[in-house]
Structure 1
Amino acid sequence: MTATGNFAPSPIRLERQGAVAVIIIDNRPINVGSHAVRTGLLDAIKAIDTDPSIKGAVLIGGDRSFIVGSDLKEFDLPLAEPQLPAVIAAIESSPKPFVAALHGAALGGGYELALGCDARIAAPGTLVGLPETTLGMIPGAGGTQRLPRLTGTVAAIDLITSGRRVGADEALRLGMVDIIAHGDLREEAVNLALHYDGRKAPVLEKNLPTDDPDREELAAAAALRKSRNRPHIAEAIRHIRAVGRIPAAQGLLNERAAFQNLRIAPDAKALRHLFFAEREAGRSAFARTGEAKKIDRVGILGAGTMGTGIALAALAAGLTVRLVDNAEVALMRGRKAIEDQLARRVTQKRLRQSAADAQLGRLHIASSMDVFADCDLVIEAVIEDLSVKRDAFAALDRVVRPGTLLASNTSYLDIDRVAEVTSRPADVLGLHFFSPAHATRLLEVVRAEATSADALATGIALAGQLGKQAVIARNVFGFIGNRIYAAYRRECEFMLEDGALPHEVDDALEAFGFAMGPFAVADMSGLDIAWRMRQAQTGRRDPAARYVKIPDLLCEAGRLGQKAGAGYYSYGGPGQEKGRDPEVEALIVEASREAGRTRTSIAPDTIVRRALIAMVNEAALAIEDGAAETPASIDVTMTNGYGFPRWIGGPVHWARQQETTALHIDCDELVRQAGSGTRRGNLELLDVGQP
């Protein structure tokens, strides 16, 4: 092997392996596509085209991966030439066959580059995909035009609109790659290039596989429904379905034009904001001073809904789980819930039976904490009562070995008060999972006063093991998410007194993009949970503060939500649709009268703005109080755990798009309406600016 060129300072190296040129893409640290990569690739392609001794070419990543995607920092600016379509056009117009040798990940523009080659060979374990729609865009370098010619339209709609990553085996079945390498990837790619013997096989010249038109319609409708009809999903579907109906060259031009418009649209900017925010949210300067401990065996105390959900997440991550509950009935119910969930995944073809059996084999249930003796971490998931949790931690402290971490799954209780009953407060932290714990992506990793850097680093690393998005929170009441959601819900309750009805508030916020409105959420969760918390705070509540009695009145009437068949709405039976209830609406009107409120109708846009202003004001207070380390972590929390629409970017990102003076005026009005005890947040802490 001899080198024929080195395009320094380009991240591209051009080497020879016999009659085959090998283009090595090595843009460290993670091998993203960039202007330098594109320029270097074009230079390499030109050199290959003009060398008659070269019979073919291979594109391969230089380190752990092929190109993992594009440098998103470039997307807020005009894209510098050459752009990716020009590089792919050069590969397709070259007289030499090109083979993409994929390993690690080939995503976004990286996989589009591979689609521009004549063949694709992948190492086992490679991930491929077009995730542009998860960032508010569509593939812009031919992805919508080439992929359907390999997979068919139905599969392409699913792959592109979901943005999911596909493993090598599935990619082979779908036609996304041609071969899986069984030996040395580079060697096999070189042999494949020679096998083509100078012949070209561009994807754009392949015939579109025939799909059932009805399945195509169903796939398109499902994708639109799942995305809440976002414009980039509609655009992706439109371009995919144009394949075979218009000339390929026109399809490429149409796709690129749509991509250029979408990448600078509000949705894409908000989603890019979240992309970078999510990368930062799980990082902590304090945690970096520590060392994460290896977690193999996890103990879970409490076999209720949260405990079994956490167990499922840990089992899926390959961990051994000890699930303990002193109530035999709860323990049996918890095990059955885990078995049922695994069986459901097998039926849905999301899990192989052998994998489900392996997970169950790592689950051990017991009624005694003694089984926690060899655990690396024990997570407490008992009822939300401080005295119960303190008793649990005192008992755990006596059972587990030195160095074992103890974590509480509390939603809002004081972790310092819990840690103080142990002999190891430095090893105590909060791990606030969200329901359902096995499915919801967010994990608040809570640093108490004495939590060590090692313990915090371990909590963050565990989130990664479980496939969850970590957010670092401090031990302040409600942490990040619950305190902001409480302010949002309280403002929505104010609006009930002021003239709105539950369905009007829910409808407005769901139309804005929330997964569910606050009153539908309350019914689903159960109104008695928040009721107990309010009762516990009765003696500490400022009597001059505005307090809405409507939720208490519903609970006193036995309307505890879906489980009781009645809450803010009425329900015909378990799982049945909610309906407006005249009794509730009459109760709300009477409560408004007793509170001295004059009811006036509230427009949907006013409902949305009041709710968001409450979140923004509380977000500023969360920064001021130290609950959240950065404004971006608030957006990550609310979009990953509370149903805030991702395409809006979170409450802080939303606030930054608003007219500053109006934002400050609305926050002042919020505080005035709420009365005594409500603080005004300093919006400058959110980088919103002066009015």
Structure 2
Amino acid sequence: MNESPVVRLEKDGEIGVIIVNYPPVNALGSGVSDGIIDALNRANADPAIKAMVLMGEGRSFIAGADIRGFGTGRKRPPLGQRTYDVLDASPKPVVAAIHGYALGGGLENALACHYRIAVPSAKVGLPEVLIGILPGGGGTQRLPRVVGAQAALELITSGRHVPAPEAAGLGIIDEVLPANANLRAAAVAYARKIADIRPLPRVRDRNVTAEPAVFDAVRKSIARKARNQKAPYSCIAAVEAACTLPFDEGIRRESELFAELENADEAKALRYAFFAEREVAKLPDLPPDIKPCNFAAPAVVGAGTMGGGIAMAFADFGYDVKIMDAAQDALDRGMERIRANYATSVKRGSLAEDERLRRLGRIHPVAGYDDISDCDVVIEAVFERMDVKKPVFEKLDQVLKPDAFLFSNTSALDMDELAAVTKRPERVAGTHFFSPANVMKLLEVVRPSKASPETLMTAMALGRRIGKISAMAGNTDGFVANRSRAPFNSEMVILLEEGCLPEQVDKVMVDFGYPMGPFAVGDLAGLDVGAEGRKRRALANPNYRKLPIADKLVEMGRYGQKTGAGWYRYEKGDRTPHPDPEVAAIIRSVAAGMGVPQRTFTDTEILHRLLFSSVNEACRILEEGKAYRASDIDVMWLHGFGFPRYRGGLMYWADGIGVKSVYAQIAAWHQQYGDRWAPSRLLRELAETGTPFREAKPAPFA
């Protein structure tokens, strides 16, 4: 048999070295599994070979299955003929030599080997639950036999990546090599050391048991996060099979559960989200040879909540960052807030004390513009008003070196207007972080008309380097994320005018899968923030639809959690929202004054009123060329607004209802409620042609 083009077998004395070379990350794509099996068979048939090493070339060991193959009807090898089975049954020992990632099928192959070694920087894990399936290559059966049921349940239901030292402590890795070790040489030496040991240590031969209470406790612990999802519970059932059935029967049960999940709506939506997050990084209208600039000296101007969060985001990813505020008391408060945030993380157990000190040590407070004159990228994060931001931009333009980048953390303001006050408009862009900036994954990069391709690529890269998902947005009021969300925000308050209560709307959206309802989120963010935006839009548009109930609460000083009352009331020191009879009375009073008839609503009508309004606006954004793709809008909703990931995203979810049904309902509401529900031109065209939202062809980026 000819050697596979993606897997080769080399000899190092009496050790056979099986090398996977399927760039970029050695996924288990076309020919990889067959190549591994062929190499194993040839090595076992060669009397000169006493043991084997399985390793990856390039960036990783094996980073998992090729996700593109899921849900395509591809034929999987029968049980007993997969790489895991052949590795497991090898009469000669096999050592997995791990660097980079061993995830999903990668770790499952490693667990089927007889020994596992790794470099310290390696990470392992079984993240299949994150795409709506379970480990289908024996992972749910072998991992519990290595680490015990409790630890396996935690790793499989969370899908988290486990660093090599922790994996060694759990028993997944037999030996972590010194940091400067040559992986191949060390793996060959290890294979020589164990070559004659018999019987071979096979994971399948170990036993694992657990009391039923262990599984019940895990089901209870994940109930809130996993609601409406099947995959996490199927993972638990598979691990339970490992503890109650013989190995081969457990493998069959795992395969049955995998087959049930692979083509389910949940898995399809999660796979869509996975690929949408990769597509969002592509900027198809920029020259392909443009590369982002490196930066080493970032600064943040403004030490408020957003500025402090942005500084933490840099520090968390290893950057020394300056944070500047012209007012010393504001700078002091900002640093105290940063210290408190890190202290809370330590208290919760999510951050080690020594790491807290390291991160805090990377944040350098400074009080003047001259102190940041040597920085190569500066993010302005002062109050969201043009008359506040413009003077800051003018001063930064004066003090920064000519090739420094000047970015603004604005959520809605015109970036062309801001860029115009500088002498470097080509090096200006928007970088809209979402609150809290050190936690939320979305970074919306806003594209002014004069920004150079290099500037845009640098802004996108900046987000990725501090752990964000960067998405490009056109320069339009509210950009893409907030503009598409604005009708939702209006419609939820208009529903109150017609007879709903905040707690009813919030329950519908939490049941749909949001972590919090929109009224509770408003209280968390501060109702005064939204009021400021409404004032600006009302001044610009005489036909702007006002929200008198929301405005009334702000007039009364009910800003949300920070004042102890907003849409809900809050007890001192407690963030639990409590329905407030006073709010119900305000709603009734304002509605009566407006002469709006009161009625009841079904959960479905509430859900569709909110989300369809934003689908329609998203179509307008696409037809104006302010976003590249419908899937980019989905990514923004997933990571900016907490849209439930297992529903794919706003536009993907709407496709599940059907573009014609969405259009028909919006057209009916247009007749009932007037122009705010006027169907967009693109929506009408999609409905007429039966084209799904995710296949919409937007206008050229503007």
TM-score category by the smaller chain? Answer: over 0.9
Amino acid at match of 1:681: S
Contact 1:429 1:448 in 2 (8 A): yes
Partner of 1:117: 113
Structural mapping, 1:536-575, within 5 Å: 536-543=536-543, 546-575=545-574
- Tell me the secondary structure at the aligned position of residue 90 of structure 1: helix
Q: Helix, strand or coil for the counterpart of 1:571? A: coil
Aligned residue in 2 for 1:325: 325
Partner of 1:526: 526
Say if 2:56 is the partner of 1:58: no
> Where do 1:281-430 residues align within 5 Å?
281-285=280-284, 286=286, 288-430=288-430
- State the Cα deviation string for residues 434-453 of structure 1 (Å, max 9, x = none): 11100111110111111111
In 1: Cα distance, 2:59 partner to 2:439 partner:
29
- Equivalent residue in structure 2 for 1:193, among 183, 191, 194: 191
Paired residue type of 2:585: A
Q: Which residue of 1 aligns with 2:640?
A: 641
Residue 462 (structure 1) aligned with residue 462 (structure 2):
yes
For 1:23 and 1:557, how far apart are their aligned partners in 2? 71
- CA deviation profile, 1:367-395 (whole Å, cap 9, x unmatched): 21111111011110100110110111001
8 Å contact kept, 1:631–1:686: no
Contact 1:620 1:685 in 2 (8 A): no
**Do the aligned residues in 2 keep the contact of 1:448 with 1:475 (CA within 8 Å)?**
yes
Question: Is 1:146 equivalent to 2:142 in the alignment?
Answer: yes
Distance 1:673 1:553, change over 3 A: farther
SS of residue matched to 1:334: helix
Unaligned stretches of 5+ residues in structure 2: 691-702
Percent identity reads 39
Shift of 1:682: 3.8
Per the alignment, residue 29 of structure 1 pairs with 24
Q: CA deviation at 1:244?
A: 2.6
- Matches of 1:416 and 1:664, distance apart in 2: 34
Helix, strand or coil at the partner of 1:241: helix
Compute the displacement of 1:81 (Å): 4.0
Of residues 610-619 and 301-310 in structure 1, the stretch that sits farther from structure 2 once superposed is 610-619
Cα gap change, 1:576/1:184 in structure 2, threshold over 3 Å: closer, same or farther? closer
**Structure 1: which 5+ residue stretches go unaligned?**
none
Q: Once superposed, what is the RMSD of the aligned Cα atoms? A: 2.1
Looking at structure 2, the residues matched to 676 and 272 of structure 1 have their Cα atoms a distance apart, in angstroms, of: 36
Looking at structure 2, the residues matched to 533 and 93 of structure 1 have their Cα atoms a distance apart, in angstroms, of 66
Residue 38 of structure 2 aligns to which amino acid in structure 1? D
Aligned to 1:155: 151
Q: Aligned residue for 2:170?
A: 174
Higher mean C-alpha deviation, range 494-503 or range 83-92? 83-92
**Alignment partners' CA distance in 2, 1:464 and 1:624:** 28
Deviation at 1:173, TM superposition (A): 1.1
User: What letter is aligned with 2:52?
Assistant: A
Shift of the alpha carbon at 1:6? 5.2
Write the distance in 2 (CA, Å) between the matches of 1:214 and 1:336. Answer: 44
TM-score in terms of structure 1 length: 0.95
Residue 688 of structure 1 deviates from its aligned partner by: 6.9
Aligned-partner Cα distance in 2 for 1:142–1:686:
48
Cα distance in 2, alignment partners of residues 45 and 84 from structure 1:
17
Query: Aligned-pair distance for 1:621?
Result: 1.0
Q: Structure 2 vs 1, CA of residues 374 and 81 (structure 1 numbering), >3 Å: closer, same or farther?
A: same
Quick check: 382-391 or 608-617, which moved more? 608-617
Instruction: Output the CA distance in 1 between the equivalents of 2:685 and 2:312.
Output: 36
Rounded to whole Å, the distance in 2 between the matches of 1:345 and 1:504 is 33
The Cα shift of 1:628 comes to 1.3
Find the aligned partners of 2:563 and 2:342 in 1 and give their Cα distance: 28
CA distance in 1 between counterparts of 2:685 and 2:342 reads 42
Counterpart Cα distance in 1 of 2:16 and 2:685 = 52
Per-residue deviation at 1:79? 2.6
Which range is displaced more, 424-433 or 598-607? 598-607
Secondary structure in 2 matching 1:432: strand
- Conserved? CA contact 1:613–1:670, under 8 Å: no
> 1:425/1:686 Cα in 2 relative to 1: closer, same or farther (>3 Å)?
farther
Deviates more, 1:160-169 or 1:593-602: 593-602
Contact 1:542 1:677 in 2 (8 A): no
Q: Tell me the secondary structure at the aligned position of residue 76 of structure 1.
A: coil
Change (3 A) 1:243 1:677: closer
2:695 paired residue number: none
Change (3 A) 1:505 1:81: closer
Question: Bigger CA drift: 637-646 or 143-152?
Answer: 143-152
Q: Could you tell me which amino acid in structure 2 is paired with residue 186 of structure 1?
A: R
Residues 99, 118 of structure 2: 8 Å contact kept: yes
Say if 1:589 and 1:83 are closer, same or farther in 2 by CA, change over 3 A. farther
**1:655 touches 1:688 (CA, 8 Å); kept in 2?**
no
Q: Could you say which residue in structure 2 is the equivalent of 1:71?
A: 66
What residue number does 1:98 align with? 94
Q: 1:192-211 alignment to 2 at 5 Å?
A: 192-194=190-192, 195-197=194-196, 199=198, 200-208=200-208
SS in 1 for 2:223: helix
1:503 offset after TM fit, Å? 0.9
Deviations 1:379-438 (A, max 9, x none): 101001101101110011111111110110000001111110000001110110111100
Q: In structure 2, what is the equivalent of residue 257 of structure 1?
A: 256
> How far apart are 1:494 and its partner, in Å?
2.2
- Say which SS state the counterpart of residue 445 (structure 1) adopts: strand
Segment drifting more, 262-271 vs 497-506: 497-506
Q: 1:239–1:315: structure 2 CA closer, same or farther, 3 Å change rule?
A: same
SS state at 1:225 partner: coil
Per-residue CA deviations over 1:51-91 (Å, capped at 9, x if unaligned) read: 33322221110222111111111102123343687221111
Looking at structure 1, the residues matched to 68 and 415 of structure 2 have their Cα atoms a distance apart, in angstroms, of 39
Q: Distance in 1 between matches of 2:330 and 2:201?
A: 61
Number of aligned positions between the proteins: 684
Residues 311 and 321 of structure 1 are in contact (CA less than 8 Å); yes or no, is this contact kept in structure 2?
A: yes
Q: Structure 1: which amino acid aligns with 2:6?
A: P
CA distance in 1 between partners of 2:574 and 2:294 (Å): 41
Instruction: For residue 586 of structure 1, report the CA deviation from its aligned partner.
Output: 2.4
What residue is the counterpart of 1:477 in the other structure?
477
Given that residues 52 and 95 in structure 2 are in contact (C-alpha distance below 8 angstroms), is that contact kept between their aligned partners in structure 1? yes
Cα separation, partners in 2 of 1:627 and 1:13, compared to 1, 3 Å = same
Q: Which amino acid in the other structure matches residue 113 of structure 2?
A: C
Contact 1:527 1:567 in 2 (8 A): yes
The amino acid of 2:329's aligned partner reads V
Is the 2:613–2:677 Cα contact (8 Å) retained in structure 1? no
Question: Aligned equivalents of 2:283 and 2:642: distance in 1?
Answer: 25
1:126 is matched with which residue: 117, 122, 127?
Answer: 122
In the alignment, is the contact (CA less than 8 A) between 1:95 and 1:198 conserved in 2? Answer: no
Quick one: structure 1 residues 84 and 325, their matched pair in 2 at CA, closer, same or farther if it must change by over 3 Å? farther
- The answer as to whether partners of 2:503 and 2:579 remain within 8 angstroms in 1 is yes
CA 1:287–1:520 in structure 2 vs 1: closer, same or farther (change >3 Å)?
Answer: farther
Q: Give distance in 2, aligned partners of 1:679 and 1:405.
A: 40
SS in 1 for 2:519: helix
**Aligned-partner Cα distance in 2 for 1:532–1:84:** 62
- Distance in 2 (CA, whole Å) between partners of 1:207 and 1:159 is 19
Distance 2:423 2:114 in 1: 64
Aligned to 1:16: 11
Offset of residue 158 of structure 1: 1.4
CA spacing shift, 1:686–1:512, aligned 2, 3 Å: farther
Give the match's secondary structure for 1:570.
coil
Contact 2:50 2:195 in 1 (8 A): no
Q: Alignment partner of 2:300: what SS?
A: strand
Question: SS where residue 14 of structure 1 aligns?
Answer: strand
